[in-house]
Structure 1
Amino acid sequence: MELDTGSLAIFVGFAAADRVQAVLDAAGHGDLRFSHGYVFQHLIEGAPTIGELAESLGVTQQAASKAVTELDGLGYTERFSDPLDARVRRVRLTDRGSEAVEIARRARTELERDLAERLGPQRLAAARTALEELLDELGGADAVRRRNVRPPR
């Protein structure tokens, strides 16, 4: 297979995401898309305003609002008044949203176990180390650590 490193890494990520999506589908979360994860990452540990979310995602407020409106309609997010200023509206995960996050986390853990069994723990660890070093070398590690990965343009 003659792929450059970046394309190969993306395709591996897509294949892993498909495995996780299959688990989410089976658990009743088939309405989630890969792109929803970019929004979820900002709601796991916080409750931003639409403006804050838009800035973090590098999109317009209209685009962020559209994504949240879709997730609201699916029952994954909800908007609420800021307790310190009722004029400010914030976004957070609902119980359904938090459940989807936990299911996806468990699916990724299971996938790691499966890969370790198939490839061997040392080979998988070496692959992970190489990918982590590449991510750092290309300047993406900090965004991952801060849960601030932006969608590709």
Structure 2
Amino acid sequence: MVGGAEPDVHGYVFQHLLGGPARVSDLAGPLGMTPQGASKVVAEMERIGYLTRRADPEDQRARIVELTGHGRDAVDAGRAARAAVTAELRAVLGGTAADELVSSLDRPADHTGAMRELLARRLRPRHT
């Protein structure tokens, strides 16, 4: 853990900010958290340098959150790592076997609706 919040939650915050800035209160619902919990995660990510907060010009009580350059670099690094793993998987298994593996892994996600939720950025982190 970094600073107390579950690291997995950071990825969900990143996903919800890829489209642009959002209010902290608007992140709470999709993350399955209270606004206070979302604020705590945002504060932690701000300390790390991934996010920046500023007052909402329409409501000075609310805070707008957005990715910093460091946050965008982290997203890019994650994408590059996934691409490298995919390339290695394809090199080791071969294209057809890799495609079959991905298809096999997609079936349970499709069956449970998890893939649909993930693609819509509605898949919530599990709190243990």
TM-score (norm: length of structure 1) = 0.73
Aligned residue for 2:68?
94
Pick from 23, 37, 52 the counterpart of residue 63 of structure 1.
37
Aligned residue for 1:15?
none
Structure 1 unpaired stretches of 5+? 1-32
Report how far residue 60 of structure 1 moved.
1.0
Give, in whole Å, the separation in 2 of the partners of 1:82 and 1:62: 17
- In the TM superposition, what whole-angstrom CA distance separates every residue of 1:73-98 from its partner, at most 9, and x where no partner exists? 11100112335x15232111000000
Pick from 9, 19, 24 the counterpart of residue 35 of structure 1.
9
Check if 1:78 corresponds to 2:86.
Answer: no
Letter of the structure 2 residue corresponding to residue 91 of structure 1: V
Aligned residue for 2:27?
53
Give secondary structure in 2 for the equivalent of 1:152: coil
Which range moves more in the overlay, 93-102 or 132-141? 132-141
The count of aligned residue pairs is: 121
Q: Is the 8 A contact 2:24 2:35 kept in 1?
A: yes
Give, in whole Å, the separation in 1 of the partners of 2:38 and 2:101: 35
TM-score (norm: length of structure 2) = 0.86
Structure 2 unpaired stretches of 5+? 1-6
